[in-house]
Amino acid sequence: MEFEEARRRVGELRQTIEQHDRLYFQESNPEIPDREYDGLKAELVRLEAAFPELDQGDSPTRRVGDDRLPGFATYRHRVPMQSLDNTYSEEELHAFHQRLIRASGDENPIYVVEPKIDGVAVSLTFEEGRFIRAVTRGNGVQGDDVTENVRGIRSLPKALSGATPPAMIEIRGEIYMTTEEFQRINGLREEAGQAVYANPRNLTSGTIKLLDRREVAQRHLEIVLYGLGHSEGLKLETQEGYHEILREWNLPTVEKIWTVEGIDEAWAAIQELDAMREGFAYATDGAVIKLNSLALQQEVGATAKSPRWAIAYKFAAERAETVLRAISIQVGRTGVLTPVAELEPVHLAGTTVSRATLHNAGEIARKDVRVGDAVLVEKAGEIIPAVIEVNLAKRPSDSKPFEFPANCPICATPTVQLEGEVARRCPNLDCPAQVRRRVGHFASKQSLDIDGLGEAVVDQLVSRDLVKRLSDLYRLKREDLLELEKFGEKSADNLLRAIEISKTAELWRVIHGLGIQQVGATTARDLARVFGSLDELADATPEGLVAVEGIGEKSAEGIRAYFDLEANRALIDELMALGLKPESPKGDEAGGSLFEGKTFVLTGTLPSLTRDEARVKIEAAGGRVTSSVSRKTDFVLAGSDAGSKLTKARKLGVEVVDEDRLMEMLA
């Protein structure tokens, strides 16, 4: 390659990699599979090695991606959190082994082989055996303080038990989410018209960086620990011994590690791991091979970015080739058009895949995916399969580039692309596809919970033009329902009764049911508590909205945009005129005003209540729960393992109460 060409390519790669780093580490929303990313990085490393003149200045090959976000305090790691060199090739493992023999002088090094967990890296600090801090990797040197979010992980003991703990220790590991939890949350997001996450890792990193702790508390996170940072007063010789002591402290550790001699045994262990990893609770994307002796680790040292004593071997994600039969376009509740690949069914990673995501128009254009193409489909940590690339050798000669429809495939309205959005939308609020989704959402469990109004019934009501807008539900007559398939008198009466009952649903259910963008069930509850009626909410100023705990600027914008639309105001008036009368206890009217004007801060683990339950009790009595202790705080409710907040409360002279005392006050 000519120098000029290399220089151009290096510039391009650096820019692309930086963009993908941002999507992965900060937005928790990567656009390309890990393997594709690793390929770009490997190409850049090769070019920088081949052209030393280009190997200078700032390059993503010389640092780790940065996950820090505004809104978090940062904390400096006592020992930097490095990244790992990784490879997909067995040959490179042998090269790693040879390098280590040379560097350590040990002819047959002992290795520990561990699963490589595909989660979010975190460093926990324990002082005198007590959990005091959790910090993300950040840029490797400084990370974001996520202590409170990590404290909510129930399976993490907040105090080390068993063996005597050292004076201080940084213990490293990965936060993850189980597949079931991932599917549960994605289901709720879909219902709320929010973008779904492609895999548990992205959802985990999105969760750990939420500023709203109540939102975090509603998502179940897990943790697994394997690494050592700084420590004081710890006697330890091997990585294997470290795993033993983690277990003695009752910390969650990996299911299995292999202590082996030489690289051939390590390779056998990797195969064994590959065969059993499907049964693990967390996603794994490879194996990590580490020198067992901590003294040897010290001796061989590290580069600026990664240790020389370890390497990650990554498992290739399963892929299969199949034919793209068609590209269908789904229209969501908010009008977003999502292209879906309709595939010739193919067997992949234990399931039959017949559909895969194509994300958006830009993605289809970038990959030049065409109907009739042979495409490579991958299912990695991705639960949702994705189309990776086209096999151009098999492209039919008469194929044409895919033209993203300019009009909505359902109602033919010209689509629009809003500023700052990648997606195209159908702007027609009366589009039957949107109406169907909107009505389904309105009737769903987390909204008005209308029994008997499932998808099949909604479909019929909309396609027969009986329901064009939400208010039409309250105009349905018995004879309308009797026209529907499989509808007898009894089911018609039951449905009418359920619709009637929904008129007195709680206010938050109605707010959620309206399907305002960015307003999930939790936010709807917050809004109902503070504003007390739809009218007051509709008139709230952006400042007033942001002042509500748990409402960020984005939600505030979504809410304002909704009520600024005349059609939405008219809809609400109509609903009211038809008898919808949401029950609207404001916070202080709900259960009394015992704690009116009183602010609580919760800290530590309570003996019987979860923090969420305690919060509900306090709020029901008119109190407010905030996250940090100040002179204005009235009470600190403290459980066991309470940390700095308790200290601060004592320093400021804030009254500290325990769970028993709280229950007494409430009684």
Q: Which residues are catalytic?
A: 116
Binding mask 292-311 for ligand IVH (x = CB under 6 A): ---------------x--x-
Compare residues 116 and 219 and give the one whose CB is closer to ligand IVH: 116
Tokens representing 448 are: 């008005």
Q: Site for ligand IVH (CB under 6 A): which residue of 67, 174, 191, 472?
A: 174
Residue with the shortest CB distance to ligand IVH: 121
Residue spans of beta strands (DSSP E) within 547-607: 599-603
- Helix/strand/coil for 228: strand
The answer to whether residue 117 forms part of the interface with ligand IVH (CB under 6 A) is: yes
Query: What is residue 316's DSSP assignment?
Result: P
Tokens representing 472 are: 């039409």
Compare residues 116 and 359 and give the one whose CB is closer to ligand IVH: 116
Pick the piece of the chain touching ligand IVH (CB under 6 A) from 113-121, 207-215, 273-281, 538-546.
Answer: 113-121
Q: Site for ligand IVH (CB under 6 A): which residue of 65, 152, 227, 604?
A: 227
Q: Which residue type, as a one-letter code, is found at position 343? A: L
Pick the piece of the chain touching ligand IVH (CB under 6 A) from 21-29, 81-89, 126-134, 205-213.
Answer: 81-89
The answer to whether residue 114 forms part of the interface with ligand IVH (CB under 6 A) is: yes
Binding mask 130-169 for ligand IVH (x = CB under 6 A): ----------------------------------------
* Closest distance of CB 122 from ligand IVH, Å: 8
298 neighbors 144 (Cβ within 8 angstroms): no
* Closest distance of CB 21 from ligand IVH, Å: 13
- Helix/strand/coil for 113: strand
Compare residues 312 and 519 and give the one whose CB is closer to ligand IVH: 312
Cα 1 to Cα 490: distance, rounded to the nearest angstrom: 77
Q: Which residue type, as a one-letter code, is found at position 575? A: L
Sequence-separated contacts (24+) of 451-458 with Cβ below 8 Å? 451/494, 451/495, 451/498, 452/491, 452/494, 452/495, 452/498, 453/495, 453/498, 453/499, 457/484, 457/495
Pick the piece of the chain touching ligand IVH (CB under 6 A) from 80-88, 263-271, 473-481, 519-527.
Answer: 80-88
Compare residues 307 and 452 and give the one whose CB is closer to ligand IVH: 307
Sequence-distant (≥ 6) Cβ neighbours of residue 663 within 8 angstroms: none
Compare residues 92 and 549 and give the one whose CB is closer to ligand IVH: 92
Pick the piece of the chain touching ligand IVH (CB under 6 A) from 69-77, 114-122, 495-503, 650-658.
Answer: 114-122
Residues 466-495 close enough to bind ligand IVH by CB under 6 A:
none
Residues 259-288 close enough to bind ligand IVH by CB under 6 A:
288
* Closest distance of CB 286 from ligand IVH, Å: 8
391 neighbors 375 (Cβ within 8 angstroms): yes
Cα 450 to Cα 502: distance, rounded to the nearest angstrom: 7
Residue spans of beta strands (DSSP E) within 576-616: 599-603
The answer to whether residue 314 forms part of the interface with ligand IVH (CB under 6 A) is: no
* Closest distance of CB 84 from ligand IVH, Å: 4
Sequence-separated contacts (24+) of 586-592 with Cβ below 8 Å? 586/529, 586/530, 586/531, 586/532, 587/529, 587/530, 587/619, 587/620, 587/622, 588/622, 589/532, 590/529, 590/619, 590/620, 590/622, 591/620, 591/621, 591/622, 592/620, 592/621, 592/622
How many residues sit in the footprint of ligand IVH (CB under 6 A)? 15
The alpha carbon torsion through 278, 279, 283, 289 (nearest 10 deg) reads -80
Compare residues 36 and 389 and give the one whose CB is closer to ligand IVH: 36
DSSP assignments along 446-502, one per residue = TTT--TT--HHHHHHHHHTTS-SSGGGGGG--HHHHHTSTT--HHHHHHHHHHHHHH
* Closest distance of CB 344 from ligand IVH, Å: 35
CA 13 to chain centre: 27
The answer to whether residue 82 forms part of the interface with ligand IVH (CB under 6 A) is: yes
Tokens representing 646 are: 């308790």
Q: What is the 3-state secondary structure (H, E, C) of 412-432?
A: CCECECCCCCCCEECCCCCCH
The answer to whether residue 67 forms part of the interface with ligand IVH (CB under 6 A) is: no
Residues 411-440 close enough to bind ligand IVH by CB under 6 A:
none
* Closest distance of CB 13 from ligand IVH, Å: 19
Compare residues 257 and 369 and give the one whose CB is closer to ligand IVH: 257
* Closest distance of CB 63 from ligand IVH, Å: 13
Q: Site for ligand IVH (CB under 6 A): which residue of 312, 324, 457, 519?
A: 312
- Helix/strand/coil for 611: helix
The answer to whether residue 77 forms part of the interface with ligand IVH (CB under 6 A) is: no
The answer to whether residue 84 forms part of the interface with ligand IVH (CB under 6 A) is: yes
Compare residues 229 and 591 and give the one whose CB is closer to ligand IVH: 229
- Helix/strand/coil for 523: helix
Residues 579, 192, 146: CA angle, nearest 5 degrees? 130
Compare residues 254 and 369 and give the one whose CB is closer to ligand IVH: 254
User: What is the contact surface with ligand IVH in residues (CB under 6 A)?
Assistant: 82-84, 86, 114, 116-117, 121, 174, 226-227, 288, 307, 310, 312
